[in-house]
Structure 1
């Protein structure tokens, strides 16, 4: 599975393949052109409540991972998202993009892990 995780503020590269923004909110200071997205899928992002609760606090990350995975499992859009990923992976790599400064404790990392299990 060639799914990568990358900060949306990093320059797009050909090796990124299909780029998906996984944030519910548009990242500050970046234009849609510069983001070079395949899609922006807000429906797969953590709920507003979960995002605010987490607040990118590394100490809450383990609980966040569990709660976000539960949200994904109960989300009717998840199957459609997984199908899209499978379809795009047949063409090349897929990159899950996030806006957070923390490269380790963010939803794209959790989403990649969730996808690997599917």
Structure 2
């Protein structure tokens, strides 16, 4: 048996889709993919990742994930960090893992996110 990541889901509040498009689509640069018609009434959005998907699902009542977080690998962490900072997102850089340049930030709803690049 093998196990691979198919998707990750991050909770968003009801009506947060436009903020998601601005953050994940425009700022981070992900490509939105259509949700199956049978799931569209639930709200939320899906994005393509390299080899997996990011699902942003409506959760009520909403509470951001403050400790648990996804870690997104990138090939240009400096450019991504610059875009996020320019847009007003605070970054916390972390050097505790050798061979990984990484920072933490939050999405528009306060969910903790990690972005990293292997050196």
Q: Which has the higher helix share?
A: 1
Relative contact order higher in (CA < 8 Å, ≥ 6 apart) = 1
Q: TM-score, normalised by structure 1?
A: 0.29
Q: Which has the higher strand share?
A: 2
Q: TM-score, normalised by structure 2?
A: 0.29
Larger-Rg structure: 2
